[in-house]
């Protein structure tokens, strides 16, 4: 059997791996251990479980005692605590804002191209290339009036008005 260059490389790699295995077992092999210490996590859990539960309940008792002392010293009552889920006054007064923003956003998104006023039917408007008649809705806004230069929409008692632009 002739040793080719490829076989020499494989043999060299095999010898290096064998030397590494022998060196690992000789110099850093398993330390002396007894059969009782095979699972240090389980033995630590068994030995410390009872003190941990006792310590945990002691902490809970200390916390409960501190809360009772605080309640007594501060004269706290459940009725004096506000509802954490209730909106603050500043948010309630700003509740009209999102509706105004909705009107503003509606005016920004849509473009009035043409109007057709008719007496009996109220008229129609071409908005973003679509025909909308009085009484029809666009994004929740109902077309309520068409004049010679504008279209008026209403949503939740808020008025949005689109006007013709000179382009």
- pLDDT tens-digit profile of 15-39? 999 888 888 888 876 665 555 555 5
pLDDT band at 80 (very low <50, low <70, confident <90, very high): low
- Cα 26 to Cα 24: distance, rounded to the nearest angstrom: 6
Mean pLDDT (the chain) is 77
Q: Encoding tokens for residue 50?
A: 């009872």
Q: Is residue 143's pLDDT more than 70?
A: yes
Higher pLDDT, 49 or 27: 27
């Amino acid at each position: 059997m002739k040793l080719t260059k490829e076989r020499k490389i494989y043999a060299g790699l095999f010898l290096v791996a064998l030397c590494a295995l022998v060196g690992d077992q000789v110099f850093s092999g398993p330390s002396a251990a007894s059969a009782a210490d095979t699972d240090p996590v389980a033995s630590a859990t068994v030995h410390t479980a009872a003190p941990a539960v006792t310590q945990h309940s002691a902490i809970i008792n200390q916390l409960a005692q501190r809360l009772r002392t605080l309640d007594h010293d501060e004269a706290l009552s459940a009725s004096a605590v506000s509802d954490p889920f209730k909106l603050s006054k500043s948010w309630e007064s700003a509740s009209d804002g999102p509706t105004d923003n909705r009107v503003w956003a509606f005016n920004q998104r849509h473009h009035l191209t043409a109007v057709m006023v008719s007496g009996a039917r109220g008229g129609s408007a071409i908005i973003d290339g679509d025909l909308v008649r009085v009484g029809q809705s666009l994004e929740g806004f109902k077309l309520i009036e068409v004049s010679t230069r504008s279209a008026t929409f209403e949503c939740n008692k808020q008025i949005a008005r689109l006007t013709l632009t000179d382009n």
